[in-house]
Chains A and B, each alone.
Chain A
């Protein structure tokens, strides 16, 4: 069992990211079977990066860096992976930070737009924590979407966490307040607060989120100790906008990137890491409780640029 999770972790990540990387790898291999890194090759490389959702500006930057260091040099696929990773890694490395639990109860507020996987992520985090013997309380703060409370309740049952829930349409801030009180009473280690999905351009919904934060602070001025923004890897450049707005409304402290088990490569994360420097705690690579993995900059960078997991 000691070796299994590590292997499982690596296997899963590899499996998930390999799929993300496969088409890119093929692309890189196709371009760089020993040829000169000339302008045409660099152009094609830039396109590959754009297709990985890096965005036009970031892709151009990465390619410019490559041009500076190895223009017109004879280059094979392996070298190009290494060189690409060398450009991307310094951007991603600083944001690779696990979530540190500092308070008791440590309040984690989970926010994001609709359908990115907030509730599932909370279920997975709870699974990780309870497995480590932590006492977890969940707050079913998505009082808007039909059956969101039921969904989180099932996750509570699966993971052995306790749950505080109210009625549909109840005030999310009030519920969060009550949940923090209960978490204190129960001497819990962590309180995970779910919230309704909201598009960042809906001012009234963002106000509602600000209110949740305000109300939590009445009980504990330091709460929420962590505010996680969940990003969907299939999202394109709008993810930057999401980080920008959620950060200003809810003081985001870290990110979770979900759905990396598909073909989406989440390249926008490079731009986000560069622009905001927010820690990335976890990535989601599947639907089961085990499919939450710590973010590993090196694996991510390597997979993003099509390198294998050697």
Chain B
């Protein structure tokens, strides 16, 4: 499922290989696939539309880098726009107000408010050296206040003593008072889960807000949420006001489209991500990571960036000139090996491709040997410049000399020569198809890869 987007884009943009810039029609077709991908990732439909409208002008006319496919290029543009919309800068919790600074936690039932409250409190106390008091205003769910008390004990954060029968606004006032008298820096108010369409409960949380004047109102949202995310975010924004979003269950395998929906609707930054059940399992928001996940693209974006910076222009051009003549000698092969090593070797390169995660174990079992690259380069290094330029001169005695020089057997040399011949063959064929197209498919030809065995 994760490879579908790159796969589809590959098909859509395949015939684009010979052209340099993305045309409007190409982009339109690609964006249709992007739209489906975003919807499958649970980004809400209105947000998808805004997103597509925003990314279209950026993609039309974009120059495609020589070393990547147009599909990868589109993904890069989409990814960058996604990161931009998710919020590029890391915004932490704002405590810039007179103490005690009140933080109000709101959200639907089961979104993870209580756990997030304890996690944030613990971090503020341990990392930022703040004195924190937590209070649960959840009088609806059985044992909810007890839950926060226990979490407080585990986290080493004080909680407001529970008084049975008090209503949320009363508890909030008592908590504000206790925080002031106790000299606390931060007061965290956990509230009951409520549906955004529940008038009575929404009024209640607005009353709590008015009684405590929170500096931050954090909407706690499940990363697994579907299309309803826009309704939830809109209602909480309108009725209570939202200054930030806490995205929970980011450790699940959901695609996390809700993050984009919530961010777009509230305009409030995503400040914290919950990434596990333990109390220290929170992290600052990483727009990159969420963007990759929404697109289901593995780290193809880094691949594009690395390809762009690693493959020096002149090198590529010199090579292209040679290839135009349909040549591929050992100098070229060596150059290619070196480029691959620069990009992190086979494992590094493959790790950046989407969908590889699952295969990592298999790759280990298959014993892909990184040293193969080094050995192959050593073989080439043992050749004379003449041999490199003209592999035909390499006969039995030369092979023996090369093998000795590289510390390998003659059969290794033979294997590399066969590989070079196959590639040279392919060059000739590809050359007929057009040079730019070939440049892009270069990355696919890995020495020792399955095609050449």
How many chain-B residues does the 8 Å CB contact rule pick out?
44
Q: In the docked arrangement, what's the CA distance between A144 and B115, Å?
A: 12
Q: In the docked arrangement, what's the CA distance between A200 and B249, Å?
A: 11
**Cβ of B147 and Cβ of A146 under 8 Å apart?**
yes
Which chain A residues lie closer than 8 Å to B196 at the CB level? 262-263
A114 at the interface (CB under 8 A from B): yes
Which chain A residues lie closer than 8 Å to B111 at the CB level? 115
Which chain B residues lie closer than 8 Å to A201 at the CB level? 251-253
Which chain B residues lie closer than 8 Å to A263 at the CB level? 196-197, 228, 231-232
Interface string of A250-273 (1 = CB under 8 A from B): 000000000101111100100000
Q: In the docked arrangement, what's the CA distance between A116 and B112, Å?
A: 10
Q: In the docked arrangement, what's the CA distance between A287 and B142, Å?
A: 11
Which chain A residues lie closer than 8 Å to B251 at the CB level? 199, 201-202
**Cβ of B195 and Cβ of A262 under 8 Å apart?**
yes
Q: In the docked arrangement, what's the CA distance between A261 and B141, Å?
A: 16
- Which of B40-48, B180-188, B380-388 makes up part of the contact surface? B40-48
**Cβ of A235 and Cβ of B224 under 8 Å apart?**
yes
Which chain B residues lie closer than 8 Å to A261 at the CB level? 195
Instruction: Tell me the residues in window 130-184 of chain A with beta carbons closer than 8 Å to chain B beta carbons.
Output: 144-148, 150-151, 153-155
- Which of A51-59, A71-79, A292-300 makes up part of the contact surface? A51-59
* Residue among B108, B142, B224, B232 making CB contact with A155, cutoff 8 Å: B142
Q: In the docked arrangement, what's the CA distance between A185 and B224, Å?
A: 42
**Cβ of B42 and Cβ of A113 under 8 Å apart?**
no
**Cβ of A237 and Cβ of B225 under 8 Å apart?**
no
A236 at the interface (CB under 8 A from B): yes
Q: In the docked arrangement, what's the CA distance between A287 and B249, Å?
A: 23
Q: In the docked arrangement, what's the CA distance between A252 and B240, Å?
A: 39
**Cβ of A117 and Cβ of B45 under 8 Å apart?**
no
**Cβ of A51 and Cβ of B44 under 8 Å apart?**
yes
A238 at the interface (CB under 8 A from B): yes
Which chain A residues lie closer than 8 Å to B195 at the CB level? 259, 261-262
Interface string of B35-77 (1 = CB under 8 A from A): 0100111101100000000000000000000000000000000
A232 at the interface (CB under 8 A from B): yes
**Cβ of B222 and Cβ of A234 under 8 Å apart?**
yes
If A199-B249, A234-B226, A268-B226 touch, does A147 touch B109 (CB 8 Å cutoff)?
no
Q: In the docked arrangement, what's the CA distance between A114 and B224, Å?
A: 11
**Cβ of A50 and Cβ of B144 under 8 Å apart?**
no
**Cβ of B252 and Cβ of A154 under 8 Å apart?**
no
Q: In the docked arrangement, what's the CA distance between A116 and B251, Å?
A: 16
Which chain A residues lie closer than 8 Å to B144 at the CB level? 147, 151
If A53-B227, A114-B249 touch, does A151 touch B142 (CB 8 Å cutoff)?
yes
If A114-B110, A262-B196, A263-B197 touch, does A238 touch B142 (CB 8 Å cutoff)?
no
A208 at the interface (CB under 8 A from B): no
Q: In the docked arrangement, what's the CA distance between A287 and B197, Å?
A: 14
* Residue among B146, B151, B249, B254 making CB contact with A236, cutoff 8 Å: B254
Q: In the docked arrangement, what's the CA distance between A268 and B222, Å?
A: 16
Which chain A residues lie closer than 8 Å to B149 at the CB level? 147
Which chain A residues lie closer than 8 Å to B44 at the CB level? 51
**Cβ of B147 and Cβ of A147 under 8 Å apart?**
yes
If A53-B228, A154-B142, A262-B197 touch, does A115 touch B254 (CB 8 Å cutoff)?
no
Closest chain-A Cβ to B294's Cβ sits at a distance in Å of 12
Interface string of A183-204 (1 = CB under 8 A from B): 0000000000000000111100
**Cβ of A114 and Cβ of B143 under 8 Å apart?**
no
* Residue among B225, B227, B257, B277 making CB contact with A51, cutoff 8 Å: B227
Q: In the docked arrangement, what's the CA distance between A238 and B195, Å?
A: 21
Q: In the docked arrangement, what's the CA distance between A241 and B270, Å?
A: 25
User: What DSSP secondary structure best describes chain B's contact surface?
Assistant: loop
Instruction: Tell me the residues in window 186-206 of chain B with beta carbons closer than 8 Å to chain A beta carbons.
Output: 195-197
Which chain B residues lie closer than 8 Å to A281 at the CB level? none
How many chain-A residues does the 8 Å CB contact rule pick out?
46
CB-CB nearest in chain A for B153:
A146
Q: In the docked arrangement, what's the CA distance between A113 and B228, Å?
A: 18
Q: In the docked arrangement, what's the CA distance between A52 and B45, Å?
A: 10
- Among A23, A56, A261, A268, max chain B CB count under 10 A is at A56
A127 at the interface (CB under 8 A from B): no
B255 at the interface (CB under 8 A from A): yes
* Residue among A150, A155, A237 making CB contact with B146, cutoff 8 Å: A150
Instruction: Tell me the residues in window 216-272 of chain B with beta carbons closer than 8 Å to chain A beta carbons.
Output: 222, 224-228, 231-232, 249, 251-255, 257-258
Instruction: Tell me the residues in window 140-168 of chain B with beta carbons closer than 8 Å to chain A beta carbons.
Output: 140-144, 146-151, 154
**Cβ of B227 and Cβ of A236 under 8 Å apart?**
yes
If A50-B45, A238-B224, A264-B226 touch, does A287 touch B253 (CB 8 Å cutoff)?
no
CB-CB nearest in chain B for A149:
B143
* Residue among B110, B140, B197 making CB contact with A232, cutoff 8 Å: B110
**Cβ of A115 and Cβ of B112 under 8 Å apart?**
yes
CB-CB nearest in chain A for B154:
A146
Which chain B residues lie closer than 8 Å to A123 at the CB level? 142
A65 at the interface (CB under 8 A from B): no
Closest chain-A Cβ to B28's Cβ sits at a distance in Å of 15
Closest chain-A Cβ to B232's Cβ sits at a distance in Å of 8
Extra A-B contacts (20), CB below 8 Å, given A116-B110, A146-B148, A234-B108: A47-B45, A50-B45, A56-B39, A113-B249, A115-B222, A144-B277, A148-B143, A154-B143, A199-B249, A199-B253, A232-B222, A235-B224, A236-B227, A237-B41, A238-B42, A238-B253, A238-B255, A259-B110, A263-B196, A287-B140
Would you mind naming 28 contact pairs between A and B with Cβ atoms under 8 Å apart? A52-B227, A53-B227, A55-B40, A56-B36, A115-B112, A116-B110, A148-B143, A199-B251, A202-B251, A232-B110, A233-B228, A234-B222, A235-B222, A236-B42, A236-B226, A237-B41, A237-B226, A237-B254, A238-B253, A241-B254, A259-B108, A262-B195, A262-B196, A263-B231, A263-B232, A264-B228, A264-B231, A287-B141
User: Which 9 A-B pairs have CB atoms at the shortest separation, nearest pair first?
Assistant: A236-B226, A115-B110, A236-B42, A147-B147, A154-B142, A150-B143, A146-B150, A264-B228, A238-B254
